[in-house]
Amino acid sequence: MDTLILKGKVVSVKVKDELLSKITDLKSKDITPSLSAIIVGDNPASKLYVSSKAKAFSKLGCYSEVFSLPKDTSKEVLINFISELNENKKFHGILLQLPLPKHLNEKEILKTISPKKDVDGLHPENQGYIMQGDPQFIPCTPFGCLKILDYYDIDIEGKDVVVVGRSNLVGKPIASLLSQNFSYGNATVTLCHTRTKNLESYTQKADIIIAAVGVPNLIKKNMIKEGVHIVDVGINRIDDTTKEKGYRVVGDVDFDDVLGKAASVTPVPGGVGVMTVTMLLSNTVQAAINQN
């Protein structure tokens, strides 16, 4: 079997093309979709990630501003800063880059972001809307997964889907979305995780696998059935002395191993990761529309 490689870039280009008319319409009214991104501390990966977001926004004529706060920023100072951004009409979206330093409670801080500006879809109110089948903002990574499935015309309705991973960022929301009565839902979804016994007994029956558990090369050929579609959300660094940086990036799926047995699979890198920034842009544009 020839395995189709589900590349995120082509999907990203399509989504951005669709956004251009909305952005043009907003700018004709002197409204520039704008994102405020907050980084607490000096995590290099976070800085690189936010930098890539700023570039993507700029290319489409949108605005993104990064606010860097010291690692020892107190809860009170951070909450007050977010409150000011909630009231600042210049910004339509607020992104709090995770993870936060250990002395800050992520759940507590995320609750202080206005649901109307929560373009990462992590506020409890927005997560609740997802559970009710009425999403306002879908978290960017699950949103990107859905766009990939839709673009490549992978049928979801009535299919058996196994989601491996139960995070609030990916696993839980995508499991809920795929089981809802949506055009991109109506699947029978099983949610697995690192404590699931005999994981292969679930994945071997799946028509679609969403791997988002953070374990390098977890899903292998012997764990899947012929013709399964796989979306790999994992981004893991593993040591590799043949690489200049001393490591390489792999997903939660053993990509080379599943080729020839899976009907399709997203690569890492070049798959879902590309879509995450694009869907943040999409959510920010939608926030600008909602607020005006």
Q: Which residues are catalytic?
A: 53, 97, 120
Q: Which two tokens stand for residue 243?
A: 């690489």
Task: List the one residue out of 57, 50, 101, 56 whose CA is nearest residue 77.
Answer: 101
Q: Residue 259: exposed, middle, or buried by beta-carbon count in 10 A (0-12, 13-18, 19+)?
A: middle
Q: Please tell me the distance from the alpha carbon of residue 55 to that of residue 145, in angstroms, as a whole number.
A: 22
Pairing of strands 160-164, 208-211: parallel
Pairing of strands 160-164, 229-232: unpaired
Q: Please tell me the distance from the alpha carbon of residue 222 to that of residue 54, in angstroms, as a whole number.
A: 41
Q: Please tell me the distance from the alpha carbon of residue 171 to that of residue 29, in angstroms, as a whole number.
A: 38
Q: Please tell me the distance from the alpha carbon of residue 153 to that of residue 160, in angstroms, as a whole number.
A: 16
Q: Which two tokens stand for residue 8?
A: 């995120």
Q: Is 136 left (phi over 0), alpha (psi -120 to 50) or beta?
A: alpha
Contact indicator for 151, 170 with CB cutoff of 8 Å: no
How big is the chain by its Cα radius of gyration, in Å? Answer: 19
Task: List the one residue out of 76, 137, 110 whose CA is nearest residue 288.
Answer: 137
